[in-house]
Amino acid sequence: QKEVEQDPGPLSVPEGAIVSLNCTYSNSAFQYFMWYRQYSRKGPELLMYTYSSGNKEDGRFTAQVDKSSKYISLFIRDSQPSDSATYLCAMSLTSGTYKYIFGTGTRLKVLA
């Protein structure tokens, strides 16, 4: 079993839709949770960062962490064609080593 599982997609949605992207994990020691966006031929770009459980909102993006279920989500409201990219979840074990474990990424396509 992989430490971090993420559906690779692709996920196609119409413009304006609400998108839900998810990751599950097996290691209950993860404390820090990140979402990165990666455009084709580019490096990953940090979107959202959450510590422990709870929700965090930034514009059209909302990140949720449910540690009891070992499940994290990224919601994108009013999706735009410019949101078409691969979305990677990442998790970190401790603040000491900052060792990040990444999911495989979900390819998202928002259709105009």
Partner 1 sequence: EAGVAQSPRYKIIEKRQSVAFWCNPISGHATLYWYQQILGQGPKLLIQFQNNGVVDDSQLPKDRFSAERLKGVDSTLKIQPAKLEDSAVYLCASGTGLRNTIYFGEGSWLTVV
Q: Site residues (CB under 8 A) for partner 1?
A: 4, 6, 8, 32, 34, 36, 41-46, 49, 51, 88, 90, 92, 95, 97-100, 102-105
* Of the candidates 85, 30, 35, 39, the residue with the CA atom closest to the CA atom of residue 58: 35
Q: Which is nearer to partner 1, 42 or 77 (CB)?
A: 42
Q: Which is nearer to partner 1, 14 or 43 (CB)?
A: 43
Contact 75, 19 (CB under 8 A): yes
Min separation Cβ 109 and partner 1, Å: 15
Residue 54 has which token pair? 């709870």
Min separation Cβ 44 and partner 1, Å: 5
Q: Which is nearer to partner 1, 13 or 101 (CB)?
A: 101
* Of the candidates 101, 98, 99, the residue with the CA atom closest to the CA atom of residue 90: 101
Residue type, 95: S
Contact 87, 8 (CB under 8 A): no
Min separation Cβ 90 and partner 1, Å: 8
